Amino acid sequence: MSVSLFSPLKVGPYELSHRVVMAPLTRMRAAQQDNAPHELNVEYYTQRATKGGLIIAEASPVVQTGRGNPRTPGIYSREQIAGWRKITDAVHAKGGVIFLQLWHVGRVSHSSFQPGGALPVAPSAVPISGNFTAMTADGKQVPYETPRALETSEIAGIVESFREGARNALEAGFDGVEIHGANGYLLEQFLQSRINQRTDQYGGSIENRARLLLEVTDAAIGVWGPDRVAVRLSPYGVANDTGEADPMSLYGHVVKALATRGLAYLHFIEPRSSGAGRADVNHQNVPSAMELFRPLWPGVLVTAGGFTREAAEDAVTSGKADAIAFGRHFISNPDLPLRLKEKAPLTPYNRATFYGGAEAGYTDYPYYEKV
């Protein structure tokens, strides 16, 4: 029997009714004072919820020191848990499934976000190059600072902050969590040899560089069980000044290690779309993550990265992926699954309203109306 974008799919304990997933999307519209989700965010997610549809909610810092953008919703305070609870209740009321992406930005931050104006932390004191700019807490663009290398004794605290974030997500009513191991943030910084220059058990060999990601994943599994935990990776990504010389060896090891854990799904960002939202990137003649790593991954594979309806349908029917995560098209088409099913035209997105602001470009995109 042929499989399509609109065939059911079992993800962990959940039965999805279609395979059009909403990707995690930073929108920078949480409440200003406490970075908690509020009513505007409830409306946004409710608009995009569908019966049996999976939403991966936007990356949420698991600890204050893991922030790197203004007004990104966290998952480390009572107010944030309560705010997210309103969103999960609303999504569940429409029959949807919602995971939360757990985040620590590492060096992709600025001292203005850090308690006491401290430097951001990273595996090593390796700054992001001058081709990129940091955002300050008041929204200015400035050069990145050189981060402070984490002491070996501090790393258990990073794992604990992810464990606490996983616990808080459970309390907030989510159906599972996705570990953000992509796009040049802390866990990927540990993975990559150009950024991770450590000489302890978290640096050097591939096994050592993968250690933190696996410890964080296991911490989340301890809270949720394996079938409600997922991981996102960007094996050939270049976001936030990343890039690994030999991605196949590194990510082959990581994927095989994750494959033994019985996760809900593995989520790739395809190399052609490696701008982490900051630019329209469409690299040509680059390897396909889903094709390269599919043979190593026995479970549910979700992939994202500039898919058209036709490309998404092809990826699923060919078995290269089990579900496709859409980002920008889900921003401008709250009813994207319906539009894809009906082969209806898509509303174009407005990049100028992706980050920050209020209703404009957030909750005011139109629904599809049959003529």
Q: What is the DSSP-derived secondary structure letter of residue 31?
A: -
| Residues ≥6 apart with Cβ < 8 Å to 53 | 16, 17, 18, 20, 21, 22, 96, 97, 337
Name the E strands within 64-181.
Answer: 97-103, 121-122, 133-135, 141-143, 148-149, 176-181
d(CA 102, CA 168): 10
Question: Which residues is 148 bridged to in the sheet?
Answer: 121
Cβ neighbours around 368 below 10 Å, total: 15
In order, the DSSP letters of 82-115 are HHHHHHHHHHHHTT-EEEEEEE--TTSS-GGGSG
Give the DSSP H or E segment for 277. Answer: none
Q: What is the DSSP-derived secondary structure letter of residue 41?
A: H
Q: Could you confirm whether 185 is annotated as catalytic?
A: yes
Would you say the C-alpha torsion 134, 358, 44, 3 has a positive or negative sign? Answer: negative
In order, the DSSP letters of 200-252 are STTSSSHHHHTHHHHHHHHHHHHHH-GGGEEEEE-TT--TTT---SSHHHHHH
Which of the residues 45, 76, 144, 185 is marked catalytic? 185
CB burial class (10 A; 0-12, 13-18, 19+) of residue 366? exposed
Catalytically annotated residues: 185
